[in-house]
Amino acid sequence: MPPQLIRRARRLATPQELREAPELEQIHTPLFSAIALDGTTIPSEVTAFNYNVGGTVSGAGGGAVTPATIFHTNLEQGNTLSAPKVFTCYAVRTFLSPLDYTANAPTLADPSNATARSNDDALDDALILYYSTVLTVSVGPKDYVRSPLFLVPGNESFAGIAHAHGQAGAAATQQYRLSSPGSVGKLWTLNTYPFVISPQQTFNAVLRNTGWTTVPGLVDDKLLFVILDGVLSREVL
Amino acid sequence: MTQLEVMPRRFAAPAAGTPRLEMIHQPLYSAVAIDNAAAIPRSTFFFNYAIGNTVSGAGGGARAATLFETNLEVASFLSAPKLFTVHAVRLILSPLNYTAGAPATADGSQGTADENNDQLDDAQLIRFSCALRFFVGPKDYIKAPIFLMPENTGLGGLGVTSISSAADTLQFTNNVAVHFAGKSWTMPTYPVLIANQQNFGAELVNQWTTNPTTNDDKLLWCVLDGVLGREVS
């Protein structure tokens, strides 16, 4: 195990394990996994990191109908890292794509014109999901994140300039409304005490609605990404 | 060679006779031209052409590449004795429409009765459906959706709107200048080394049952931020 991991890891290997550990290469890459949420009631529990590229995306949404690609996850095995890989996690983020993934075909959640009356589906879905669900991230038997989803922002969104100009006498099709929300805020960081995912140790993330009297639903089929930022140590050969 | 020895973690000891290198802060970049006449291809490659070659992709920007599209002198690798250390990766989408090789604003700013907002529509479709595979030699260093590699560069400022009280159905505008911002994909402690004459590249991957189609012809750049070691003379 490289010296950096020895210093940073909270669960150190035994001296013998360290001597016998293979040489590893460190790269900056997150581990990420998407959950496909159906455009209906949010499920009581749905798990991320439990499938690999080529497997079926977790959840019942339209994005789950085809084998997962590198857009959905970079795991080579579900729930675990193959030996001798080790991952040190320094931050946890979530990101809800504003697109609609019904039938595994990414489309805009809301047309940007020519619709007489419409909700703002992207914004509605982001509000409902972030303010009604909780996330847990577990390694082995231990939870390292247990929190409402809004405390785990993705810090990715569009920025720039926008202005719109309507006309009182305009035709009904001239309605214009479009948003592309992204959750932003204080990053859930673990800089001083990162957690380590050891080779072949199980880990996952679970999204739950917490038993509301009436569980809210989404308008569109969405993809929610759980992102573990950190350093992956992988085999050199 | 002192700088080269201490900066990246994966440098071999310089061989005898290795020429002196000058270090400069400069990104390597390469664009792909996305066509609005067909769905986004399942695979398109960056860095597979040099200045003077045809830009990768089928969009209107697929012309003979200039310094605007890439700064590679040789396709797919660095000529000896150059080295490059990658410290960050960004994907930058131009807000313009490059149909017919003529850069134009994606959305008319006035006088259109019924208008899409092509710029934001296309930015969303591309950013949230494409993934990137970045490789050096036989190894992949990135396999991830491109919204994890925000551009963090673009126009900022203020938008102002006024509405006439007179009825005129042509007085309708909707304009944006968007860029994608967020946590950068950086590699501060463990940068990736591209050694001279080593093959490298990046693949834009779009693999859905029905791939999306953009409204306009777009240019999307893959930018490798880092340090270039080049010959002194």
Question: Please, are residues A91 and B225 in contact by the beta-carbon 8 Å criterion?
Answer: no
Instruction: Give the model's pLDDT for residue B12.
Output: 46
Q: What is the dihedral of CA A63, A64, A69, A70, to 10 degrees?
A: 70
- Indicate if the pLDDT at residue B32 is higher than 90: yes
Which whole number is the average pLDDT over B67-72? 96
The number of residues in chain B equals 233
- Indicate if the pLDDT at residue A115 is higher than 70: no
Give chain A positions within 8 Å (CB) of B158. 161
- Indicate if the pLDDT at residue B66 is higher than 90: yes
What are the backbone angles phi and psi of residue A53, rounded to the nearest 5°?
-55, 130
Bridge partners of A95, per DSSP, are: A225
Give the count of alpha carbons within 13 A of B72, CB side only.
Answer: 29
What are the backbone angles phi and psi of residue A57, rounded to the nearest 5°?
-60, 140
Does the CA dihedral A68-A70-A71-A75 come out positive or negative?
A: positive
Examine residue A67 and say whether the peptide bond preceding it is cis (omega within 30 degrees of 0).
no
In 3-state terms, what secondary structure has residue B147? Answer: helix
Give chain A positions within 8 Å (CB) of B109. none
In 3-state terms, what secondary structure has residue A68? Answer: coil
- Indicate if the pLDDT at residue A91 is higher than 80: yes
Residue A115 burial (C-beta neighbours within 10 Å; 0-12, 13-18, 19+): middle
Write out pLDDT tens, residues B42-61: 999 999 999 999 999 988 77
How many angstroms separate the CA atoms of B46 and B29, rounded? 8
Write out pLDDT tens, residues A152-186: 999 999 888 877 666 555 555 555 566 788 898 99
Q: Is B113 on the interface with A (CB under 8 A)?
A: yes
Averaged confidence pLDDT in chain A: 85
With vertex at residue B2, the alpha carbon angle to CA A233 and CA B7, rounded to the nearest 5 degrees, is 25
CB-based contact A71 B113, cutoff 8 Å: no
Give the global pTM.
0.86
Map out the domains of chain A as residue ranges: 25-235
Compute the nearest-CA separation of A174 from chain B (Å).
5
- Residues 6+ positions from A75 with CB-CB distance below 8 Å: A31, A33, A49, A51, A52, A53
Examine residue A106 and say whether the peptide bond preceding it is cis (omega within 30 degrees of 0).
no
**Strand B104-105 to B192-194 pairing:** unpaired
Instruction: Give the model's pLDDT for residue A47.
Output: 96
CB-based contact B164 A167, cutoff 8 Å: yes
Please tell me which of the candidates A114, A156, A225 has its beta carbon nearest to residue B150. A156
Compute the nearest-CA separation of B37 from chain A (Å).
16
- Indicate if the pLDDT at residue A113 is higher than 80: no
How many angstroms separate the CA atoms of A56 and A67, rounded? 5
Which whole number is the average pLDDT over A34-47? 91
Compute the nearest-CA separation of B123 from chain A (Å).
9
**Token output for B28:** 């390597």
How many angstroms separate the CA atoms of B107 and B129, rounded? 22
Name the more confident of B174 and A236.
Answer: A236
Q: Is A77 on the interface with B (CB under 8 A)?
A: no
Which stretch, A65-74, B108-117, B217-226, has highest mean pLDDT?
Answer: B217-226
Which stretch, A1-15, A74-88, B152-166, has highest mean pLDDT?
Answer: A74-88
What ipTM describes this predicted complex?
0.82
- Indicate if the pLDDT at residue B186 is higher than 70: yes
- Residues 6+ positions from A15 with CB-CB distance below 8 Å: none
Which whole number is the average pLDDT over B98-107? 85
Q: How confident is the model at residue A112 (pLDDT cuts 50, 70, 90)?
A: low
Give the residue on A whose Cα is nearest the Cα of B149.
A156
**Token output for B202:** 């990046």
Q: How confident is the model at residue B177 (pLDDT cuts 50, 70, 90)?
A: confident
Instruction: Give the model's pLDDT for residue B224.
Output: 97
Examine residue A84 and say whether the peptide bond preceding it is cis (omega within 30 degrees of 0).
yes
Residue of A23, A71, A75, A104 to mutate, interface with B, max B Cβ within 10 Å: A71
